[in-house]
Amino acid sequence: MRLLTFSHQKEQRLGSPLGSEFVIDLREAAVRYLVEIEKNALGRKLASLRIPNDMVRFLEGGDRSLDLARRAVEFIENAMAKGRDAPELMAEGLLVKIGDIRVEAPVPRPGALISAGKNFADHVGEMSNRGAPRYPVAFLKMPHTIAGPWDDIPYPRETEKLDYEVELAIVIGRPCKNVSKEEVFDYIAGYMAFNDISARDVVRGENGVGIFLMGKNFPGFSPMGPFLVLKDEVVDAQNLKLESRVNGETRQCSDLSHMIFKIADMVSYWSRMGLRPGDILTSGTPRGVAAGRKEGQVPWWLRPGDLVEAEVEKVGCLRNRVVQE
């Protein structure tokens, strides 16, 4: 199942895509399922508890929330198979047209956004002569950096070297502390595409003492989505293909099998400090970023007007336009 967060008529909702044109309103579909199929007179109250309009709270509901969401989706699919058409379901508030809503980041307010660095050997090589780290390394990105899958990326006045990095985002689904590598996938809810936007000149100015913050944390520097693809739809996340494109030109093309620290390594390692439902960990990126270009090569820095695509196989594609702030 695929989940998304959307805004409609000034209200945030949780949904599930139905084909390419429609989105199921999960709470309203759950209400109808509980009332019509389970004959539950408290269906609206129960649906509000199990399917809140916030992805973190939804994930905190665990298996009960996920199970009700699945039954709600099946209810709508069965209704359409029996002859109920989209306009009828839209009139009842069960479906919305994707063109009539704003698709937001699936997890717009995570508790933590932990972004791995130096996690592909070829990217480490293009950026410096230093070897790979002994342990997973990361930096924190702030919630205000999060952007939707089709939102614009503001071009800050503070930078002249704006960069892209396609990554996989891993969303935690259960509280985990000191989880073994063998247990990790029991604690993952699902996956999203992610683009780690960087102001490289700001980062390098900060990094003289080995620490940086602002160069990764301007507003809009964390596009993600379009969906939270639940792990049961992704058989082998560790081998998914990654690709980034700028104005249609491929810049990065690799796959997650080349990660130095695999998904299980990262989640297990960072679970030592405790992770919560809705926390996001990102994979790091392969070679092909603008900062990796050498003297004499055509610069690849992003400029206002550029269309940046970050795609993860079986998970989704982000399409974000760079705009002058």
Using pLDDT thresholds of 50, 70 and 90, give the confidence band for residue 127.
confident
- 126 assigned to some structural domain: yes
Pair (66, 134) in one structural domain:
no
Domain boundary among the residues 103, 126, 144 is at 103
pLDDT digits (tens, 9 = 90+) for 43-91: 999 999 999 999 999 999 999 999 999 999 999 999 999 999 999 999 9
Pair (170, 282) in one structural domain:
yes
**pLDDT for the residue 209:** 57
Question: Is 255 in contact with 242 (CB distance < 8 Å)?
Answer: yes
Pair (85, 124) in one structural domain:
no
Query: What average pLDDT does this structure show over 120-142?
Result: 84
- 108 assigned to some structural domain: no
Using pLDDT thresholds of 50, 70 and 90, give the confidence band for residue 133.
confident
Structural tokens at position 306: 């550029």
Domain boundary among the residues 75, 103, 131 is at 103
Pair (117, 205) in one structural domain:
yes
Pair (98, 128) in one structural domain:
no
Pair (87, 188) in one structural domain:
no
- Give the integer Cα–Cα distance in Å for 128 and 150: 32
- 194 assigned to some structural domain: yes
Closest CA to 56 of 228, 232, 283, 302: 228
Query: What average pLDDT does this structure show over 13-40?
Result: 97
**pLDDT for the residue 129:** 60
The lowest-confidence range among 63-77, 112-126, 302-316 is 112-126
- 155 assigned to some structural domain: yes
Question: Residue 75's domain spans which residues?
Answer: 2-103
**pLDDT for the residue 9:** 85
pLDDT digits (tens, 9 = 90+) for 244-301: 999 999 999 999 999 999 999 999 999 999 999 999 999 999 999 999 999 999 999 9
Pair (312, 207) in one structural domain:
yes
Number of domains in the chain: 2
Closest CA to 89 of 102, 77, 71: 77
Residue 82's φ and ψ, nearest 5 degrees, are -90, 5
